[in-house]
Chains A and B, each alone.
Chain A
Amino acid sequence: MLILSLDSTAVVGSVALCRDDTPLAVFTVKNGNTHSETLLPMVEAVLNTTNTSVADIDLFACAVGPGSFTGVRIGVATVKGLAFGREKPCAAVSTLEALAENLVPFEGIICPVMNARRGQVYNALFHVENGVLTRLVPDRALSIAELERELAARGEPFALCGDGVDVTTAGFQTLVPSAVSPLLADQSAVSVAKCALRAYQNGEAVSDAALSPVYLRLPQAERERLERNNETKE
């Protein structure tokens, strides 16, 4: 099965063509939030280099969030456009699950973190069981302090990945993450493809029309900040 996958949910933009689990071509840039200008030329380069046409693709996959509002929309819209009218399945992949996939087979808790600004991260927690990623909590936005409390309570070694690694490591008071290669910290469309294949095999693929962005917003942060601002005014 030929899978075209992409991730544009943060500063990294990544496009991959995989045959099942095997990457055939990967194109990743980390050059600022310019996905609206770079993503489609990257798709074109990946397809041309491998002598593949869009019609050959069996499964379209996309990291659908959480992440940057514009980045998420660009990725989802691009996949919708490529798949439109082709009756081919699409897989909506959590950005966090794909990030966690980078670190398989880490023994312990895999803890992807994306910088959601103002002391918050987008996060989920995963285990690896028999080589397969297993989700422990749903995708959420939470403060770095809350994340540290939760990881401390679980009491297991953990590894971080994602663009929030630095802000999270700096924000933790006592916990120290396990060392992993920084090469694995960034979004990779190959990981998106792996998650997409799993979703497809589990019958979770959708039509291009049903592919939707997932925005995790910060109602709690908003509430807390409004309270804090009111206090300072008083």
Chain B
Amino acid sequence: MLRELYQTKSTQETEALGAALAARMQESDLPRYIALYGDLGVGKTAFVRGFASVIAPESTVRSPTFALVHEHRGKELDLFHFDMYRITGEDDLYSIGYDDYLTRNGICLVEWSENIPFALPDAYLRVTIEKCDADHPDLRAICIEEVAAC
């Protein structure tokens, strides 16, 4: 099972890490669902921006806090960018068509997955982004790990 730790020193490096993961996902059978964990402003959307630059280069990535989900048409795979910050339960998930997205041929990137532990798929990638050094506020520890139900 995949488990990798990285440090990035800037937003650009976080984006590049997202882009690198996207390139690997195109060439492997990694789960096409990425649950993103991390505090406000830690760089989750930057990671997604980098990821989208590979999968759907025409698209502009913004935080979907208001719309809850943004769809990006990709070259081969579509990309569905969720923000679960305002999601509190099954009813909310249903009314954004969450399960419909899981059955489509695309990649789901899900910010604030903390809010939907009950609805994560059996297999997914967990990406955790954290500030790791108070003296270097731009430094990030990023963990990418594969999670699968036993």
Residues of chain A having any CB pair with chain B under 8 Å: 11, 32-33, 68-71, 117-118, 215, 217-219, 221-222, 225-226, 228-229
Docked CA distance A71–B100 (Å): 8
Are B99 and A68 closer than 8 Å at their CB atoms? Answer: yes
Are A117 and B99 closer than 8 Å at their CB atoms? Answer: yes
Interface extent on B, as a size class? 10 to 19
Q: Which residue of A lies closest to B91 (CB)?
A: A217
Residues of chain A contacted by B117 (CB below 8 angstroms): 229
Residues of chain B contacted by A226 (CB below 8 angstroms): 89, 118
Docked CA distance A219–B91 (Å): 7
Q: Is B119 an interface residue when CB atoms closer than 8 A count as contact?
A: yes
Docked CA distance A228–B97 (Å): 24
Are B103 and A32 closer than 8 Å at their CB atoms? Answer: yes
Docked CA distance A50–B117 (Å): 50
Q: Would you give the shortest CB distance from B109 to chain A, in whole angstroms? A: 19
Known pairs A11-B103, A32-B104, A33-B103; A70 contacts B91 (CB<8 A): no
Q: Would you give the shortest CB distance from B25 to chain A, in whole angstroms? A: 20
Are A229 and B103 closer than 8 Å at their CB atoms? Answer: no
23 contacts across the A-B interface (CB closer than 8 A): A11-B103, A32-B105, A33-B103, A33-B104, A69-B96, A69-B97, A69-B100, A70-B97, A71-B100, A117-B119, A118-B119, A215-B94, A215-B95, A217-B91, A218-B90, A218-B91, A218-B94, A219-B90, A221-B90, A225-B90, A226-B89, A228-B118, A229-B118
Docked CA distance A194–B119 (Å): 36
Are B118 and A69 closer than 8 Å at their CB atoms? Answer: no
Residues of chain A contacted by B119 (CB below 8 angstroms): 117-118
Q: Would you give the shortest CB distance from A234 to chain B, in whole angstroms? A: 14
Q: Would you give the shortest CB distance from A96 to chain B, in whole angstroms? A: 17
Residues of chain B contacted by A228 (CB below 8 angstroms): 118
Residues of chain A contacted by B94 (CB below 8 angstroms): 69, 215, 217-218
